Amino acid sequence: MRTGRLLIDPLRDSDAEDVFAYQQRPDVVAYLPWPVRDRAASLAHTQLRAGQRVLANDGGAVALAVRLPGEPSLSGAGDRVIGDLTIILNKAANAHVSVGWVIHPDFQGRAFAREAATALLELCFGIGAHRITASVDTDNSRSMALCERLGMELEATHREDRYEDGRWCDTHIYAIRRRG
């Protein structure tokens, strides 16, 4: 899928070096449910996620790469992966999916996250989703602002629902529904 400036397609094993470039950064994983990864852990995680391509059953997931055409991959294999998108089928009977996004900090501030997330929501509605949710750490002001720019509404705050780095953390749940 192409947007104005990006190419969004399934994550591949060959994307591991680009993915490692942001998974090794504390500022990236601060709001994600995993720790900073070394190269081996990032490679294993990328290989696992590259195999996530089916939303046939509840819990099924699809991992998509956000590529910047013209920016060479760190591995030399095509366009640079500057982030990734995730779709998780929560409940097929209810047409409910959850989404998430990550953009490498070196590429933030240029509206790539908004462009990619807009395409992600369009894709989800295009495959029949009725309800799309995003779980956002309450300290992640940039993702909260993005959800609001995407037309997602804050529906709930889960208080102290995760224990990370020696403290309890809260999560906002944003949602958007198919209209009409």
Q: Is the dihedral of CA 38, 52, 125, 153 positive or negative?
A: negative
Q: Which residues of 110-131 are buried (b: 16+ CB within 10 A; e: fewer)?
A: eebbbbbbbbbbebbbeeebeb
**Which phi and psi (to 5°) does residue 141 adopt?**
-60, -35
Domain with residue 56: its CATH number is 3.40.630.30
- Whole-structure pTM over 0.85, yes or no? yes
Residue 58 lies in a domain: yes
For 100, 109, 167, 171, 179, the CA distances from 103, given in Å and listed in that order, are 11, 10, 25, 20, 28
Task: Please indicate, yes or no, if residue 137 is contained in any of the structural domains.
Answer: yes
Domain assignment present for residue 1? The answer is no
What's the number of domains the chain is made of? Answer: 1
Residue 2 lies in a domain: no
Q: Could you tell me the strand order of the sheet in which 61-72 lies?
A: 7-10, 61-72, 79-91, 96-103, 131-137, 167-177, 153-164
pLDDT tens digits in sequence order for the chain, 180 residues long: 999 999 999 999 999 999 999 999 999 999 998 889 999 999 999 999 999 998 889 999 999 999 999 999 999 889 999 999 999 999 999 999 999 999 999 999 999 999 999 999 999 999 999 999 999 999 999 999 999 999 999 999 999 999 988 999 999 999 999 986
Domain carrying residue 114: 7-177
